[in-house]
Each structure stands twice: as C-alpha cells, then as structure tokens.
Amino acid sequence: MASSSVADQEGQVMLLGFWFSPFVKRVEWALKFKGIEYDYVEEDLTNKSTLLLTSNPIHMRVPVLIHNGNPIAESLVIIEYIDETWKQNPILPQDPYERAMARFWANFIEQKVTESTREALVSQGEQQEKIVKELKEAIEVVEGEAKAKLNDKTLFFGGGNGVGYVDIVLGWTCNWMETIEEVGGFKVLDPESQPQFHKWMANFREVTFVKPTLAPKEKLVEYFRMVRPARLGLVANK
C-alpha cells in the first residue's frame, strides 16, 4: 500500500458528474485506475444542484471533484490533483521531461481533437467542412504519435506502465467519436489511414476499468440527437 500520508488519502471523495459526459468519464477512469473509493453524484444538467453551482461557480459544469470538502474543477486539473494526492499507480510519468511531453500531448488533444469535435458537432455546411478538415489533420498527428510510440508490446501511451495520462485524456474518442460523427453528419475516423489509432482505441475499450463504463452507442446517439438541434440553435442565435 502507498506509504505517503494516509491522512491525505482518507476523507471523503465525491464526484459530481453526468452519465453522458466524456470529461466526467476521464476522472472516473483516473479514480478507478488508482483504486480510490468515491461517491458519485449524478447531476441533472437542466436543473443543476446548489452543490455544483457553488463548487464550480466559474464554469458551472461537471466534472467537479470534491475531496475533504474542497472542490476542484476542469478534468485535466482534477486528474493531476488525483495523481499528486494518491501516489499508487502513477498516471503521469515521473521524469520532468516525460511529464512535459505528456502534458503537451494532453493539451494538443484537448485543443485540436476534443474542441474541434465539439465545434464540428454544433456547426453545419461550410463552417463544419472547415473544422472537419482541421480535425482530420489533428487525428493524423495522433496517428503519427501512435505509430512512433506503440507496438505489440507497448499498447498505450503510458508506456511500460500501461495506461497513462495521455491515454486517459484521449480515451473519450474510443466510444464517443463514432456517435458524434453519426449525429453531426461528418466522417473523420478511417481505419485504413489511421490503423494505429484504431488499434489503440480497440485496446483502450478493453481496459478492465474502462470497459464497464462505456455507454452503449444507441443511448449516446439518442442523447446527442436530442442535444444537437438545441446547440445549433444557440450557435445560430449568437
């Protein structure tokens, strides 16, 4: 068991989430990877709880981790906090340079893959075409990284230790990307030109603490189909 201060690791861990959110899932994967017990609170995003609004007044969104009554928001910030507070099963590498590289790729994924996918979903026509093109290019970069870093022995970006920070940050693509493509009416995934990325997604889906958390496609599609028109409407009215 971890030898560092048990007092830090005790105390209540609560996660405010939403079943559908890939950002919440990331945090859950980090908690499960480390074997941390936590209370999960499902938020109604149409009627946000007082706890959520007071814990995250800036962004008013999930996920929020509350540890010993102290709230932390933003999935990447939460994951680093988890990694620094509970030392078992490290998520980020130990070496400062490797950590910098992991953070660099996490930021790249967030800005160029996650953000672009969100934009592609809520846009149409020429605007969507432009974003989809950029998204495809970003995935090509990920494919390049996968080609360089992964092989039959090293399945994940975490390297010899298995799953790591970059895998957890990129992980949402393995389940949500297909759904968003279908609902958004665009295509970026291509197993032929992205073989290593597809291999990585398949392997990530099978990770023991990931597999049970993945919602079935039909349920995700149904939710997105409901949400997209409203989001498009919001964007059009801007």
Partner 1 sequence: MAEEVKLFGGMWASLYSRRIEIALKMTGVQFEFIEEDLQNKSPLLLQYNSIHKKVPVLLHNGMPIAESLIILEYINETWPDNPILPRDPYDRAMARFWARFIDEKLIWVSWDAYRSKEEDQGKAIEEACKQLKALENELKEKEFFGGDTVGYLDIAAIMVASWFGVMQEVMKVELLTEENFPNLCQWVEKFVDCPIVKECLPHKEKMVEFIRVLLKDFLASR
Name the residues that contact partner 1, by CB under 8 A: 8, 57-58, 67, 70, 72-74, 76-78, 80-81, 84-85, 96-97, 99-101, 103-104, 107-108, 141
**CA 164 – CA 217 distance, rounded (Å):** 25
Nearer to partner 1, 122 or 220 (CB): 122
* C-alpha span between 153 and 211 (Å, rounded): 21
CA dist 58 and 74 (Å) reads 10
- Residue 96 Cβ vs partner 1, minimum distance, rounded to whole Å: 4
Instruction: CB nearer to partner 1: give 87 or 198.
Output: 87
Question: How many separate helices (H) and strands (E) can be counted in the chain?
Answer: 11, 4
Shortest distance, position 59 Cβ to partner 1, whole Å: 8
Nearer to partner 1, 40 or 104 (CB): 104
Pairing of strands 13-17, 39-42: parallel
Rounded least distance, CB 101 to partner 1, Å: 8
- Of residues 78 and 91, the one with the C-beta less far from partner 1: 78
Nearer to partner 1, 28 or 74 (CB): 74
Work out how close the CB of 107 gets to partner 1 at its nearest, in angstroms, rounded to a whole number.
6
Q: Closest approach of Cβ 76 to partner 1, in Å?
A: 8
Q: Token pair of 193, please? A: 């030109």
The CA-atom distances, in angstroms, between 99 and each of 32, 86, 102, 164 are 21, 17, 5, 11
Q: What is the CA radius of gyration of the chain?
A: 18
